[in-house]
Amino acid sequence: MSDDHFTISNGSVMATIKADGAELCSLKNADGHEVLWQAGPEWPRHAPILFPIVGRLKGDVLKHRGKTYPMTQHGFARDQRFAWTAREKTLCTLSLSDSPESRAKYPFAFRLDVSYVVDGDELVIGYAITNMGDDMLPASIGAHPAFQWPLKYGVAKEAHSIVFEKPEPAPIRRLDGGLLLPEPEATSVQGDKLALSEALFAKDAMIFDQIASHSLRYQAPGAPTITFAWDGFPQLGIWSKPSGAAFLCIEPWHGYASPVDFDGEFSDKPGVMHIAAGETRSFTQRIGFAQ
């Protein structure tokens, strides 16, 4: 059994997870069709976990009680090696705890547990943040899975769409230099459908900070349909490389980049959750294959 990677399967879904970043790096349906982006040169990741921040902080600095700490975009968890805490045929769990290295960037005691379970035609991913300290824990967390776009070779990228659970008329937010712009812009969603094109990402990610849905379908004629659902995440990002690349990221978040005019205490940053001492906050993401 490799300590680097572990594969779980139930005959309908096969998923491979690596200890580095507790990152999902392969997701296949019963036919063996790979739907996850395979970390090409345009973007060298598959599905990183964003913790303890989502997006950027101004100046890449976290401020806490008069001190500053270096904190790069999306935090450090995606670049840390997690410990395996369970490995079975259809599930695995991993854990990351604070260390002297993490406290030099994020001066808090925490534990982040991540679980992967194949259940029917779905992969269920769970995240649990526990405050291991005596003070309030400010944190954000996000998922960042990248799916193949196109989902099947030969299908046009423009033939793909996202169909939300509910109509999504609310305006979206955009970024400038990785920071949140103050003014929203009109959404490109028509009713419950977002027609996908590379032009959508000319201004970086689409940020749905008033998302009504908790599920969606990512689909194209002649390709596998991906079902996607989330619980506990109040925001959603959709992103691809502005210059064009063969992936589409669908990202449930609790938190988002700092507003361009915010330079205060991390605990006061918009979107940050506050976890009481000893408390655990849990989040779920489900990725499935429609029949």
Each residue's pLDDT tens digit, 65-79 = 999 999 999 999 999
Looking at residue 244, what is its pLDDT? 85
82 contacts 127 by C-beta, under 8 angstroms: no
Each residue's pLDDT tens digit, 203-221 = 999 999 999 999 999 999 9
* pLDDT value at 54 more than 70: yes
Looking at residue 291, what is its pLDDT? 64
Distance CA 127, CA 250 (A): 17
Each residue's pLDDT tens digit, 1-37 = 679 999 999 999 999 999 999 999 999 999 999 999 9
The verdict on pTM exceeding 0.95 is yes
Looking at residue 161, what is its pLDDT? 98
Indicate the burial class of 48 (C-beta count within 10 angstroms; 0-12, 13-18, 19 or more): buried
Distance CA 117, CA 94 (A): 12
217 contacts 290 by C-beta, under 8 angstroms: yes
43 contacts 37 by C-beta, under 8 angstroms: yes
b/e burial code for range 183-220 (CB count within 10 A of at least 16 → b): eeeeebbeebbbebeeebbeebbbbbbbbebbebbbbb
